Amino acid sequence: MTSAPDYHPLADRMRPQSVDDFAGQQHILAPGKPLRTAIESGRLHSMVFWGPPGTGKTTLARIIANSCDAQFISLSAVLSGVKDIRAAIERAKQYREVYDKDTVLFVDEAHRFNKSQQDAFLPYVEDGTVTFIGATTENPSFELNNALLSRVRVYVLKSLDVDDIKTILQKALTDQENGLADQGLTLEESAIQKLAEIADGDARRALNLLEIASDLSEKNTISNELIEEVISGGGVRRFDKGGEAFYDQISALHKSVRGSSPDASLYWYARMLDGGCDPLYIARRVVRMASEDIGNADPRGLRIALDAWETQERLGSPEGELAIAQAIVYLACAAKSNAVYKAYNAVMSDVKNSASHEVPLHLRNAPTKLMKEMNYGKEYRYAHDEPGAYAAGEHYFPDGMNEQHYYHPVDRGLEIKIAEKLARLRDLDNQTRDKQAKKGN
């Protein structure tokens, strides 16, 4: 391969020039879809493309500008500031004055702009000086301010499927003008399948790997073995330790445990580790799962989760990661109960929305003579001195507050026994209070 000054990577050379050549995204680009109709009619509107890397966000923005005969200005939010935004706006104004044509202002990694930088676009998006097209891999709801979001339409781009990637690779191999046709290369069927799978929905990654393989190939055939060598340098799966993929995957792990699927739970756990997630973060979340979703149906789950966390802290990888996997599988297989979780939320809501009731005198501690004289602790019934170590009929809520039942055990695991015991104790309470009421009469 030459190193001429005008060299462009294969991925850049193979950018489609029209919607018809664009691979994937048929949910927004199929005939009759709103975005396709807008492009074909030349009616521009400001928008944001949200999707994983390599799904065509930049390419689609260029296609839109070309189809509408508009000037295309590209900014990177990583490298640009308000000064660059103002300069782009001035270029757009001059272009309008000289040519009476629109300008598409494309902002890559738009989520990297802070609020003031995003606000700098607003007047010019509003008055039509520019048509704003932003690209982001992060959820716009969290990363873009409401003022900007209200002025754009968000389009979600999806990862390309394996067939889409294979189509792109085949085109790169046969394209006479921009592809690799002049090298006479062919890919073994197993090699192109492997390349399409390992690209993980990213067309740019697939083309970059193909170009590397073509450079390394000593024959006209790119074999499966050569592709294995090209990709052996490290993992290529998507994972952003602070972004959307991170929170989506920890959510998937939690929901798989809650749904009693040990296999899916292990899969998402492995995906997060493979992407570089700190095992201690996962261990902390596993403890949360033990309390929130297993609870008293199987209290051993919390202890196992804590032991796994401690093992990771003491031994590190890979021993600690295996212990976390053990805890995840145990929790996924355990009886489920969110009764404590629901009770906790209910009582916290009541406490926050009610008065600060005083502690009843009989429940107060009386460490001093004065407190005893004020009847602190008077008439308190010591449960261990009562039949069955239970003071039947005793009231532990504040005076004037009715008995509340926040905790409702489920009919699974240990909570079956807990529910039976609570029912017996409440029956004793009712019997005792009925007797006390009769005596009072």
User: Can you give the CATH number for the domain in which 325 is found?
Assistant: 1.20.272.10
Residue 400 lies in a domain: yes
Q: Find out whether 341 and 291 touch, Cβ atoms under 8 Å.
A: yes
E runs forming strands in 177-259: 186-187, 221-222
The domain boundary, picked from 156, 179, 201, lies at 156
Q: Transcribe 153-178 into DSSP letters.
A: EEEEPPPPPHHHHHHHHHHHHH-SSS
Residue 13 lies in a domain: no
The pLDDT tens digits for 72-88 are 999 888 888 888 888 99
Q: 78 with 134, same domain?
A: yes
Check residue 116 and give left, alpha or beta (phi > 0: left; psi -120 to 50: alpha). alpha
Residues in the chain: 441
User: What burial class does residue 317 get, using C-beta atoms within 10 Å of its C-beta: 0-12 exposed, 13-18 middle, 19+ buried?
Assistant: exposed
75: tokens are: 């900014």
162: tokens are: 């394996």
pTM here is 0.61
Q: 171 with 279, same domain?
A: no
Q: Name, in order, each residue with C-beta under 8 angstroms of 243's C-beta and a sequence gap of 6 or more.
A: 137, 138
Residue 17 lies in a domain: no
Strand partners, 106: 74, 133
Q: 184 with 71, same domain?
A: no
CATH number at residue 122: 3.40.50.300
Residue 430 lies in a domain: yes
Give the domain extent around 127. Answer: 25-156
Strand partners, 187: 222
Residue 180 lies in a domain: yes
Q: Find out whether 212 and 180 touch, Cβ atoms under 8 Å.
A: no
Q: Is the dihedral of CA 10, 179, 216, 203 positive or negative?
A: positive
Q: 123 with 36, same domain?
A: yes
E runs forming strands in 180-260: 186-187, 221-222
pLDDT tens string for the chain (441 positions)?
444 456 678 888 888 888 888 888 889 888 888 888 888 887 888 999 998 888 889 999 999 998 888 899 998 888 888 888 889 999 999 999 999 888 999 999 888 888 888 888 888 888 888 999 999 888 888 788 888 888 889 999 988 889 999 889 988 888 878 888 777 777 778 888 888 888 888 888 888 888 888 877 777 778 778 887 777 755 545 555 555 577 788 899 999 999 999 999 999 999 888 878 889 999 999 999 999 999 999 999 999 999 999 999 999 888 999 999 999 999 999 999 999 999 999 999 999 888 888 999 999 998 898 888 899 989 899 999 999 999 998 989 998 888 899 999 999 999 999 999 999 999 999 999 888 888 766
